[in-house]
Amino acid sequence: MFKALFIVVITLWVNILSFNTYAANKTNYGSALVNKITSIYDADTFKANIKGWPDIIGQKVSIRVNGVDAPEIRGKCQKEKNAARIAKLFTIKALRTAKTVELRNMRRGKYFRILADVYVDNRNLSDLLINSGLARPYDGGKRGGWCTF
């Protein structure tokens, strides 16, 4: 009896957690302006201070650029690592020279980062990276490799 009750409780708990995680990832939290770019990890991940947000949640916030897959700095091969450096330099220039950086359609992604459409001077950073051949479209599913020759 106790074992059956335990299994029911655990099953309900897992379902509740799964629903909450799904709902949190799908919630759109609107838009915000970036006050300052504090660091840039790679072409599609950076940290920023968000204008008007309390320090506890608005300082050095990790941002993942929505809709794009760029090569990884810690890639699986030298080709990917080299491509990642070039793509990162593109993002550095775009973010550091922009007069305005806006986060639109914000939501929580996996790894608890903010996932957002990032606009630099009203231009979509994802589109800029993709159109420059430095990244490819990404919908959140399985990513392709960058090491094929």
Name the band, by pLDDT with cuts 50, 70 and 90, for residue 17. very low
**Does some domain include residue 144?**
no
**Does some domain include residue 8?**
no
Average of per-residue pLDDT across 22-46 = 85
Average of per-residue pLDDT across 81-88 = 95
**Does some domain include residue 148?**
no
The answer on pLDDT for 2 being more than 80 is no
Residue 111 pLDDT: 80
Q: What single-letter DSSP state applies at residue 143?
A: P
Helices marked H in the chain — which ranges? 2-26, 55-58, 78-97, 125-131
Write phi, then psi, for 137 (nearest 5 degrees): -60, 145
Average of per-residue pLDDT across 33-60 = 95
Domain that holds residue 69: 29-137
**Residue recorded with tokens 């840039």:** 40
Structure tokens at 142: 């399985």
Residue at 41: amino acid letter:
Y
Residue 16 pLDDT: 46
**Does some domain include residue 145?**
no
The answer on pLDDT for 86 being more than 50 is yes
The number of folded domains in the chain is: 1
**Does some domain include residue 45?**
yes
**Residue recorded with tokens 């794009």:** 68
**Does some domain include residue 15?**
no
Tell me the CATH number at 73: 2.40.50.90
The answer on pLDDT for 10 being more than 80 is no
**Does some domain include residue 95?**
yes
**Does some domain include residue 22?**
no
Q: How far is CA 36 from the centre of its chain?
A: 17
